Chains A and B, each alone.
Chain A
Amino acid sequence: MSFWDFVGSRRQQLLMDTYQHASAVFQCMVVAAVIGIGIGMLTYRNERAGRLAIATTVTIMTIPSYALLGLLIPALGLGVPPTVTALVLYALLPIVRNAIVGLRGVDPSLVDAARGIGMSRAAQIARVELPVAWPTILTGIRVATQMLMGIAAIAAFASGPGLGNEIFAGISSLGSANSLNQVLAGTLGIVVLALLFDAALVLIGRLTTSRGIRA
């Protein structure tokens, strides 16, 4: 069976896996972005706290994803809980790091000016600092999304959702007629999803970057 015949005959299953993969990555991404930007906002003004936040997230990144899943399974069981936890944890480093660097990179005279015209601290963050740091933060989100695509594939072995299931089904039936097609469909599906997500994030960047700092 050729690859395209295979894709045609398994369309339903593949679409389901693709949708679940995309949805898992997207939701974890949103959660990680909220947590990561939150950690960034809480720590960027303090040298030590910022360092600690980055060092912690760097350590998480150093841990092999399959091993982290292995450690999460005894606590959380199989399936969605360990998958989501692992994805969110791995997404934190690029987001936290870029949030801290982005927020620290905001020209202090801008913040001064904002305070000068009577903005409250919250307004300074919401209307000056975050918008200026946003392109850097978004870059972190792009890097994290790229990474999550691959980690989500591994999580399928812990009964996680998504296209990784096609890859593992192919591996466990090596030699059978459709094993190559399955692996190929899973892998290419993830590559396509990764490219689509990246393009979407670039577009979001264009639309949400404050006009004053657009290149």
Chain B
Amino acid sequence: MTAGPGTEEAQPVTSALQSAPMPRKVTAKKLIVTPIVIVLALIGTYVWISNVSLDPIEKNSLSGALVRQALWQHIRLTAYSTFFVLVIAIPLGIALTRGGVRKASPVATAIANLGQSIPSIGLLALLTFWLGIGPRTALVGMVAYAVLPVLSNTMSGLRGIDPQLVDAARGIGMSGFGVLTKVELPLAVPLILAGVRNALVLNVGTGTLAGFVSGGGLGTLITNGIVTQRTRVLIVGSVLAVALALFVDWLASLAELQLTPRGLEES
């Protein structure tokens, strides 16, 4: 997922789990345009809010401390959940493409596909009956929701590797572990990174729902705005959430650019 009029290598979306586009060249234009748009939107919102007279409810909801807290909670939720997603999904994806376990991978894919049809808000709400309310519940829900795309991207990345390359690596005497770390994983990096980027964006999105289970985050501002019918609160929360999503996606696109193995660029 990308923002702004960047270069987009089009490929069909075949499943909800593989909707992440292939990595692409990130043009200088895109690298600069996205942050400029984000900063302008934030400055615009700030100037607007500072120049209108707010009623007491709005002043309360939009106090600097509260907004900063919500933003910080959101960033933390996103960072933690993405970390856990990576720690769970990448090793699991590797395991499910190895030897005997490989037979289990259709089952895993089926479960993942079914899991994807559970609405995120329903999943979060159901988790509260098991784990109670709070940030921890939100975190578990976010991780559960984002594990699927990274898992399936890791698996299809490893499966899509030309078997001849693996054969060649074996032929020059590499061990199974050597083949995995020196050949298979580097070749799968673009797809894995696309999955990670997808997970980050998903996590910012699911994070806006954390407020419903008392998990904090920018969703609380949006919810406050809707419940108290204060449009300005609503807009500040929404603009911040959108800006965060675009910013995180932009950061992830930088990471893709940096981490894609040299030999795979321009392919």
- To the question of whether A and B form a pair in one complex, the answer is yes
| Pick from B116, B122, B201, B235: contact of A186, CB under 8 Å | B122
Give Cα A139–Cα B13 distance, bound, in whole angstroms: 7
> In the complex, what residues of B have CB within 8 A of residue A146's CB?
16, 116-117
> In the complex, what residues of B have CB within 8 A of residue A167's CB?
119, 121-122, 125
Report whether over half of chain A's contact residues are helix, strand or loop; otherwise say mixed: helix
Q: Are A66 and B117 in contact (CB under 8 A)?
A: no
A83 contacts chain B at the CB level, 8 A cutoff: no
Q: Are A149 and B117 in contact (CB under 8 A)?
A: yes
Give Cα A158–Cα B226 distance, bound, in whole angstroms: 7
Q: Least Cβ distance of A112 to chain B in Å?
A: 23
Q: Are B5 and A194 in contact (CB under 8 A)?
A: no
Give Cα A150–Cα B121 distance, bound, in whole angstroms: 8
B118 contacts chain A at the CB level, 8 A cutoff: yes
> In the complex, what residues of A have CB within 8 A of residue B121's CB?
150, 153-154, 164, 167-168
Q: Are A70 and B225 in contact (CB under 8 A)?
A: yes
Known contacts A97-B10, A187-B126, A67 near B208 by CB under 8 Å: yes
Q: Are A74 and B234 in contact (CB under 8 A)?
A: yes
B7 contacts chain A at the CB level, 8 A cutoff: yes
Q: Least Cβ distance of B2 to chain A in Å?
A: 5
> In the complex, what residues of B have CB within 8 A of residue A59's CB?
2-4, 246
Known contacts A62-B245, A67-B241, A174 near B133 by CB under 8 Å: yes
Q: Could you tell me which residues of chain B, from 109 to 168, have a CB within 8 Å of some CB in chain A?
A: 114, 116-123, 125-126, 128-129, 133
| Pick from B10, B116, B125, B201: contact of A101, CB under 8 Å | B10
Give Cα A67–Cα B129 distance, bound, in whole angstroms: 26
Q: Are A140 and B245 in contact (CB under 8 A)?
A: no
> In the complex, what residues of A have CB within 8 A of residue B118's CB?
150, 187, 190-191
> In the complex, what residues of B have CB within 8 A of residue A157's CB?
212, 223, 226
> In the complex, what residues of A have CB within 8 A of residue B123's CB?
187
Q: Could you tell me which residues of chain B, from 35 to 77, have a CB within 8 Å of some CB in chain A?
A: none
* B residues at A contact (CB < 8 Å): 1-8, 10-16, 19, 21, 114, 116-123, 125-126, 128-129, 133, 201, 204-205, 207-209, 212-213, 218-219, 222-223, 225-226, 231, 234-235, 237-239, 241-242, 245-246, 249
A-B contact list, 5 entries, CB within 8 Å: A70-B238, A154-B119, A174-B133, A190-B122, A195-B117
